[in-house]
Amino acid sequence: MSLELAALRRQFPIFANHPGGKPLHYLDNAAMAQVPRAVIDAMAAHDSTSRANVHRGLHPLAERADGAYDAARAKVARFLNAADPSEIVFTAGCTASINLVAQATGATLSPGDEVVVSRLEHHSNLIPWLMMAKARGCHLRYLPVTDDGRLDESRFGDVIGPRCRFVAVTHASNVTGAVSPVRKLAEAAHAVGAAILVDGAQAIAHGSVDVQKLGVDFYCFSGHKMFGPTGIGVLWGRRNLLALLTPPVTGGGMVGQVTDDDVTFLDLPYRFEAGTPPVTQAVGLAAALTWLGDIDRPAFSAEERRLTDRLLDGLSATAGVAIVGPKDLERRLPVVSFAVRRLHPHDICQILGERGVAVRGGMLCAQPLMTSLGLAAGVVRTSLALYNDDGDVDAFLIGLTEAIKVLT
């Protein structure tokens, strides 16, 4: 392990505090990344010195909290290269962001309109659209995937047709790791007059995202998958499109005038932030972005790719293992899923867990994808982050071979 990587790992208290004193080989980053000390400290400092509700109070403490919350929003806007901080809505997470857009968009759709999702979607970017389509009499259409778990680009034109009003796709699959050709999808959506939302839950932790360059209309992600806290997510939307949507969730903090019979809403982004927002978590998310900006992200990302290559090689050489997803490094994330002949993913996860190797197994909130891939019990998923090293990959590969031996 390089000195730089060792120093980076030391910034994550979890690795020193793993119960039982055994080393932790954490390869479940696609479910939740670990959090550096800088983020924990920033949230503790906020709660210790500046805790108050935001955009309500006029006392100095409230003004400090307002300042911290507004600064977090501005930080996220710069991180995504949004045109303006008012395009950033803080939510409870990626799922909440998608539900917000699905419900608000649904109100503008008519029976017979089409909404396009893909077979790669996590349930979070599927069920909100499914429910909305059922309620509005719209048709949900699916972009198909290739045998190696990528979106089939040759079919975009067949599925995104003249009745399509909205496209909702993942930036990268939480199962196969495949990265979607987002710009092409945006062009296809816009060519038929549809808007496009991209679920960035997985992609955001593995490279920079410029929403303007991507050419999309809405982009969402969660704090906890990118070294930030739980309980916070982001919805970015183009100002002109956000402004057309009626807030599906209403309450305090988002209104102008309220009478017995009517209500006016505040301007963007506050109209979409009903109730007390996740202030401390916003401060933590901003700290995570600062932390990412302070490390040599390209160097650590290159290391992540090298380890992914090793992982793919090791899995390919393990008898009975079938990798689910692209086998080359091109346009894929360090999220690697696989099935083992005749073995249940949960049994493998449990044995690996006993050896200090944390991986995820099962349906991965992607049942339609598992069905289309013919994987009734799902898969085992390994997912890397910037702090993983060769020791993690070795422990996993050795543990897997032993698990297969024990179970067969």
- Return the active site residues: 365
Q: Which is nearer to ligand PMP, 50 or 176 (CB)?
A: 176
- Sheet with strand 233-237: strands edge to edge: 88-91, 233-237, 218-222, 195-199, 164-170, 114-118, 139-143
- In the complex, the smallest distance separating the C-beta of residue 127 from ligand PMP, rounded to whole angstroms, is 11
Q: Which of 256, 235, 236, 261 is nearest to 93 (CA)?
A: 235
- In the complex, the smallest distance separating the C-beta of residue 177 from ligand PMP, rounded to whole angstroms, is 11
Tokens of residue 207, six digits: 């490279």
- In the complex, the smallest distance separating the C-beta of residue 174 from ligand PMP, rounded to whole angstroms, is 3
Buried b (16+ CB within 10 A) or exposed e, 382-391: bbbbbbbbee
- One-letter amino acid at 395 equals A
Q: Which of 130, 191, 129 is nearest to 160 (CA)?
A: 191
Say if CB 125 and CB 202 are below 8 A apart. Answer: no
Rounded Cα–Cα distance for residues 182 and 171 (Å)? 7
Rounded Cα–Cα distance for residues 68 and 75 (Å)? 10
Looking from the CA of 84 toward its CB, the CA atoms found within 13 Å total: 8
Q: Which is nearer to ligand PMP, 31 or 407 (CB)?
A: 31
Q: Which is nearer to ligand PMP, 236 or 314 (CB)?
A: 236
Q: Which is nearer to ligand PMP, 9 or 225 (CB)?
A: 225
- In the complex, the smallest distance separating the C-beta of residue 97 from ligand PMP, rounded to whole angstroms, is 8
What's the Cα-to-Cα distance from 3 to each of 12, 228, 247, rounded to whole Å? 15, 24, 49
Q: Which residues pair with 336 in a beta bridge?
A: 382
- In the complex, the smallest distance separating the C-beta of residue 230 from ligand PMP, rounded to whole angstroms, is 8
What's the Cα-to-Cα distance from 138 to each of 106, 134, 141, rounded to whole Å? 9, 6, 10
Angle made by CA atoms 269, 272, 276, in degrees to the nearest 5: 100
Q: Is 54 exposed, middle or buried (0-12, 13-18, 19+ CB in 10 A)?
A: buried
Give the three-state DSSP class for 343: coil
- In the complex, the smallest distance separating the C-beta of residue 121 from ligand PMP, rounded to whole angstroms, is 7
Angle made by CA atoms 356, 358, 364, in degrees to the nearest 5: 160
Q: Which is nearer to ligand PMP, 201 or 395 (CB)?
A: 201
- In the complex, the smallest distance separating the C-beta of residue 100 from ligand PMP, rounded to whole angstroms, is 12
- In the complex, the smallest distance separating the C-beta of residue 232 from ligand PMP, rounded to whole angstroms, is 9
Say if CB 151 and CB 178 are below 8 A apart. Answer: yes
Report the interface residues with ligand PMP, using CB under 6 A.
30-31, 93-95, 122, 124-125, 170, 174, 199, 201-202, 222, 365
Handedness of CA 310, 122, 279, 212 (dihedral sign): positive
- One-letter amino acid at 80 equals L
